[in-house]
Each structure stands twice: as C-alpha cells, then as structure tokens.
Structure 1
Amino acid sequence: MKTHKGVTALLRAAERERRCAIGENRALYHALRRRTKSLEVTSPYPNLFADAAYWESLNPEERSLHVIRALARLHPKWIFAGLSAACVYGYQHGYSLHDGSVFIACEHGRNAADASKLRRLYIRTDILRYTCNGIPVTSPAQTLLDCAAYPFANALAIYDSAFRTPYAKPEEVRARMLRVNCDESAVTRLLRHADSRSENGGESFARGRMIELGFAVPALQVEFDNPDNHRMPYRVDFCWKLSDGRVIIAEFDGTAKYRDGSNKNRASIQAKLDYERRREHHLKEAGVTAIVHLFYEDVTVDDRLRSKLLSSGVPYLR
C-alpha cells in the first residue's frame, strides 16, 4: 500500500513514547483501518494502532502497557486496576495471564458502549487514585486484592514481586481486605505464603505449584559455602532440610540454559557446564543429598513436577 506520511509519523511518534497510536481524526483513522486490512498495521483495541512488525517484537506485557498508555491519554479519568495496574507497577507475572483485556476500577458495572476487551472491576467504596509512571492506578493493596482472583501460583508471583518493593505492605493488604469485596480466603492464603526473598516470577510460580500439589514449603535462597571463594557463597533457589539429616535442593530455570554444540558460543557454554558441575560437587560436599533441576515445562505439568520432587525425596504432605 502507498506510504501515508501522516500515518507513518503517527506510528513512529507512538513507538517513541512506547504506546499505541490513536486515530486522532477521521482521515487518519480510516487510513489506519485500511492498513489493518492489509496487515501492515494491527489494532489491539478500538481506535488504537501499531505497526504490525513493531507489535510482533513486543512481549505480552509490553503490548498491554502500550495499550494502557494510549488509553490513559484518551481517558484521563480512568483508574487502571487488576493486572493492568500490576503491569504499570512492574510486578512480575506470567505472560499467559494476558489475553488483551484492560482492567479499570469502577463503582458500577459494565456499560453497553464498553469495548469487548474492557473489564470493569467493581470496587464498592473508596477507590483510591494513585499515579505510577504518569498513569492513574489503584493502590498497591487494592491491586493485590484484585490479582488474588488468578490461580494461586500465578498470583503468588505477583505478591512476591510486589513485596520486594517498598510500596506494597502485607498489613495494608489485610486492612484493605476488610473494607472491600474480595476473595478473603485466597488473599489470606497468598499473604501466608508470599515471600519477597523469591528472586523472580519464575521461582515464585514454581514454588506456588509445589504448594498447590501438596509439597512442603521450601526455604528460599539458602547459602552454602563456596570453597573457591568464601566471600561468594552458593545460593540455591529452594531447600528442604529434613529431620533425618537429608538436605534436598531444587533449582529452577525457566529457559533452557544450553544450546546445541554447533552454537558459536560453545566455549562459554562449556565454561557454564564446568561451573555447574563444580558447583554441584561442592554442594554435595557441604551435605546436600539430592539436587533436582526444574524447568518451566516441569512445573506446568502436575505429573512431571510431582514425579521429580517425589523421586528426590521432597516431603509430600497429602
């Protein structure tokens, strides 16, 4: 399709601001719509647009933030809530939670004119307006209450991440829970298990899955001596120290660490392999009796995760 200077300028300006472009007038809107039909442009939300190749380069969280930033310009009175607010705050979470929906806080239900992807989260009273990165959002406490609606392991990652910041506090979540409608049992369970020592969302999700399946809750980031450098001890993701003297550790890796031998970085990969072997040798010398390596594919499948943990001797409480 013939280049349209106005469309090109609009899309590039939006990309610089990390948001979607807005069909600002009738002519530009129809020019953008024509390009969505030719697949040059994508429209993730009514009247919002992005270059198709640029959009493809974004991960699901970045796409959500592009939509949120544009909608914040179009609707300055909206207060973003739930997963949308969690994205703005930067709380870690699984990309699988994104389905294109946008969440806002409201004192009433859905309007007939609402876009199909707009989700209004009803808050009975006292919708507090916070601002993060220039975007109106619900308070950290309210955001966590709303996110408790997700499956436990997914929500736990959000709670762990939030409590690593100075702005989200468990006591504020508990106080807010008493004032608004929410799933109190889900929130209480999440607060009981949330742990800011978890280093990333993947580890939090893996721990949540262990708890869901009925395994003993592991200690996090336990340190073991590193004979090669006593000032830099080894830290393990998960550890169980049992009464009979056994010490079991689990390490989570959300992506495959090693590529095939044809990789141009083969030397560095070999160095990593050598380091991992030496690390495991030192851990066993320090009293570790079993080491289990968990990958994302393991923790998402009940039977695989259960089998790996049981075969390593992790206590099963059910």
Structure 2
Amino acid sequence: MTMNEEVACLITEAESQQRCAFVTTRALRDACERRVVGGPRGADGKISARTQPGGDECGRSSSEEAGDVRKKQHRRIHRNLVRPFPGMYISKTVWSKLAPWEQRLYVARTLTVMHPNWVFVGFVAALAYGLWVHTDLLAEPMIVMTQTHHRNRKQAGLEFVECHNMPTDILMADGVRVPPIEFVIADCIRRYPFVFAKPVLDAALHMGHCSIKEVLMAGEQWRVDNNALLRCGYYAHGELESAAEAFAHAVIIDLNFTEPILQKTFTDPENGKTYRTDFAWPRGDAFCVLEVDGLIKYREEPYLRQRSLAQVVNDQESRSRALQMRCGVMTMRRVKYSQICDFDYMEQMLKSMGVPRDYGPV
C-alpha cells in the first residue's frame, strides 16, 4: 500500500466514526502534514524528492528523473487536510461542513480513542449527552478529569482537573467517556456562570434525563457551591423547548427581572383560536409578551407543513396582531439568538416593555 493510500484509508476510517484521524508513526505524520492546508513546504516552496511517496528511498536519481518525480508527485499530493488539534487530521471539506459544537465532539471522540482512560466533564460532556451548550463555551478548554495529579495542568486546549471521588459508573455517550449525566450537570454549574449552566440543566429536564434532586445530590458529592446549585435548581424548567428559550430565560433571571410565565396560552375571543407564547408577564389586566427566534423555529417541520416561508411569516404577523388587539397583550417583542447574547440590549428591551424587576434573595 502506498503512503497516499494509507493516508486515505486513515482519513476514511476516522470520518466513518465521526472523529479525526490520528497517526502513530513519524512517516504517517509527515505524510499528513504535507497534505495540511497551509502546511510547511521545503525551502524552495516545493515538496522535496526525499519526502515524496513513491520516490527513491534516499531521493537519489539522475537530475532528469528527479525532476519528473517531483512534478508527478507534486500533482498527486493535494493539500486537502486540516489539523484541528495537535496530531489530528481531517478532510478540509468535511471539517468545514461541521457546526462548531460538532467540531468539538469530533476532537473529543478522537481523544477518547487515543486515551481510553480519559474522562471528560464540562461542556464537552454536556454536548456528548445532547444538552444545550452556549456557543461561547466552545472556546473554553476541554476538561479532562483525572484521579492523579497531572504535571501539565493546561496544554493545547485541554485542562486536567483532579477528582478524588470519581464515580465508578463511567459511561460512553456519543463516543466520549463521561460521568453520569447528573455529575456532568453539577460540574457545569460549578464551572460556568448561571446563564450558561442553567440551560444545561433545563435541557436535561426537558429531555427527561434526570431530576433536580439527582443533580443536587451529585453536586453535594462533588462539593459544588450550594448557592449555585440551589439557584439553578430553583429556576430550571423542563417546559423550555429550545436552547434559545433556555438561554433567554436565564438572561432574564440574571438581569433581575421577574420570572415570566412560561408557555402562556391566549384565546382569541373573535374566532376561538389559541396562541401559545414563550414568556409572558401580567401587568394589571394586560400582559407583556416576549418570543424567541420566532422566524427560525418556523423554518423546520412540522411548522412549515407544505407552506412557504412567506406564508409562515404572514401567519406570524397575523398572530401578533390578534394577540395585541384582541387577547390583552400590552407589549410584544421578538428577539433573535444574537440579541439574547447582548445583555445590555436585553436589559433595555425588557425595561422598554415594562417588565418588572425582581431583587429578591434568590
């Protein structure tokens, strides 16, 4: 088998397992490096005859033969790989089509194969369980839990943390070694701010993976700050239906606004139609209503139901008019996911809507 064929087999096998390829020999590493987009070349900008697959072992030949080999092999070696993590390789085309969270899982799966004893916690473990992880966390180091002291605590996008009471029932979730889900959630509550940690718990409740009590017990075992645990547990809701809703709800709470009514249903007295809203606040005889990512969630089935996007938008506008004109909605706003990430924008918008503040002790 030629070196080209070995590299191709390595990449194909890894991609079939939804991970990156890794190499165990210097020859394969050099072969992959030559194919990395933007990777190093020789001093003359070309691949040398010595390092070309199929050439003479020592690169010795007549000048004419060497020139022919260089031209032929230069055409054959395509720079079509990327190196997303030290020692890992994947097709540039495949990598570019992956969402950022999928890219992190590909790397984590590869590390799991390379290091079968590693156990992941933090956002990577939450992703492996299919929980809602905010995009800002994807730039954080991946956390590996160990029972012994690791000499290099932080290295190459990894952080090693000691855990002397590691759960005995370590699991495989989506190709990644992780603790039970309640410990993963408790670790996220310990590690990340409230607005990022609570949606992880919301997702687990929504999907029926665990209970708040189980998370509190896991947090107690791992000595997670009790106030952080109780705050997330108090405000967590399985009724939240998407990552955007869960994050918006966490931001509303963190900005000290009164907790909204979730999934409030309004009935149109004119035709009996019912409309369910994401967040609602009572204001006397009327309501303030906030909806999240209204247009985006209607792009997918079953919402379209053979209708065009223009028809869906028209229905959405008709719904808004009905809510405000006949259902007692005083003010109504829609926010995109990018706007939810702007805390100043959210605070000013909620103020302008007349949403009350809550400066309670929780």
Q: TM-score, normalised by structure 2?
A: 0.77
Q: For 2:247 and 2:107, how far apart are their aligned partners in 1?
A: 26
CA distance in 2, matches of 1:292, 1:193: 22
Indicate whether 1:23 and 2:27 are aligned: no
Distance in 1 (CA, whole Å) between partners of 2:232 and 2:316 is: 33
Shift of 1:123: 2.2
Which blocks of at least 5 consecutive residues in structure 2 are unaligned?
41-78, 299-306
What is the aligned partner in structure 2 of residue 67 from structure 1? Answer: 107
Distance 1:114 1:246, change over 3 A: closer
2-side partners of 1:161 and 1:297: how far apart?
20
**Residues 1:193 and 1:114: Cα distance change in structure 2 (over 3 Å):** closer
- Which digits, 9 at most, give the CA deviation of each residue in 1:200-229, with x for residues without a partner? 111111111111111111111122236798
Partner residue, 1:40:
80
Alpha-carbon distance change, 270 to 84 in structure 1, aligned in 2, over 3 angstroms = closer
CA contact (8 A) 1:223 1:234 kept: yes
Could you tell me which residue of structure 1 aligns to residue 121 of structure 2?
81
- Is 1:270–2:310 an aligned residue pair? yes
Cα distance in 2 for partners of 1:127, 1:117 equals 25
Contact 1:124–1:181 (CA<8 Å) still a contact in 2?
Answer: no
Take 1:273 and 1:81, find their aligned partners in 2: how far apart are those partners? Answer: 41
Secondary structure of 1:224's partner?
Answer: strand
The residue aligned with 1:13 is: 13
Q: 1:249: how far off?
A: 0.8
- 1:105 positional shift: 1.6
Q: Answer yes or no: is the 8 Å Cα contact 1:238–1:250 preserved in 2.
A: yes
Q: How far apart, in 2, do the equivalents of 1:227 and 1:15 lie?
A: 56
Q: Distance in 1 between the 2:31 and 2:271 partners?
A: 62
Contact 2:121 2:184 in 1 (8 A): yes
Name which of 87, 90, 100 aligns with 2:130: 90
Structure 1 114/205 Cα, relative in aligned 2: closer, same or farther at 3 Å? closer
Q: Which runs of 5+ in 1 are unaligned?
A: 259-266
Partner amino acid, structure 2, of 1:234:
Y
Which of the numbers 220, 237, 253 marks the counterpart of 1:195? 237
Q: TM-score, normalised by structure 1?
A: 0.87
CA separation in 2, counterparts of 1:127 and 1:104? 14
Higher alpha-carbon Rg: 2
Could you say what secondary structure the match of 2:278 adopts? strand
Range 161-170 or range 85-94, more displaced: 161-170
Deviation, 1:31, is 0.8
Q: 1:109 to 1:224 in 2, by over 3 A?
A: farther
Deviation at 1:301, TM superposition (A): 2.2
Match of 1:293 among 334, 338, 341: 334
* Aligned residue in 2 for 1:282: 322
- State how far apart, in whole Å, the 1-side matches of 2:334 and 2:97 are: 30
Among 151, 155, 163, the residue aligned to 1:123: 163
Deviation (angstroms), 1:294: 1.5
Counterpart-to-counterpart distance in 2, 1:6 and 1:46:
20
Give the match for residue 264 of structure 1.
none
**Matched position secondary structure for 1:214:** coil
Identity in percent: 28
- Count residues with an aligned counterpart: 308
What SS class does the counterpart of residue 289 from structure 1 fall into?
A: strand
- Indicate the residue corresponding to 2:303 in structure 1: none
Residues 254 and 296, structure 1, Cα contact 8 Å, conserved in 2: no
Whole-Å separation in 2 of the counterparts to 1:137 and 1:115: 20
SS at match of 2:244: helix
| Equivalences for residues 1-318 of structure 1 within 5 A | 4-36=4-36, 37=39, 40-99=80-139, 101-112=141-152, 115-128=155-168, 129-148=170-189, 149-225=191-267, 233-242=274-283, 244-253=284-293, 268-284=308-324, 285-318=326-359
- How much does 1:273 deviate? 2.7
Helix, strand or coil at the partner of 1:44: coil
Q: CA deviation at 1:86?
A: 0.6
Listed one character per residue, the Cα deviations across residues 101-147 of structure 1 (whole Å, up to 9, x for unaligned) are 32222223433397422222332313331232453211111101111
| Secondary structure at 2:120 match in 1 | coil
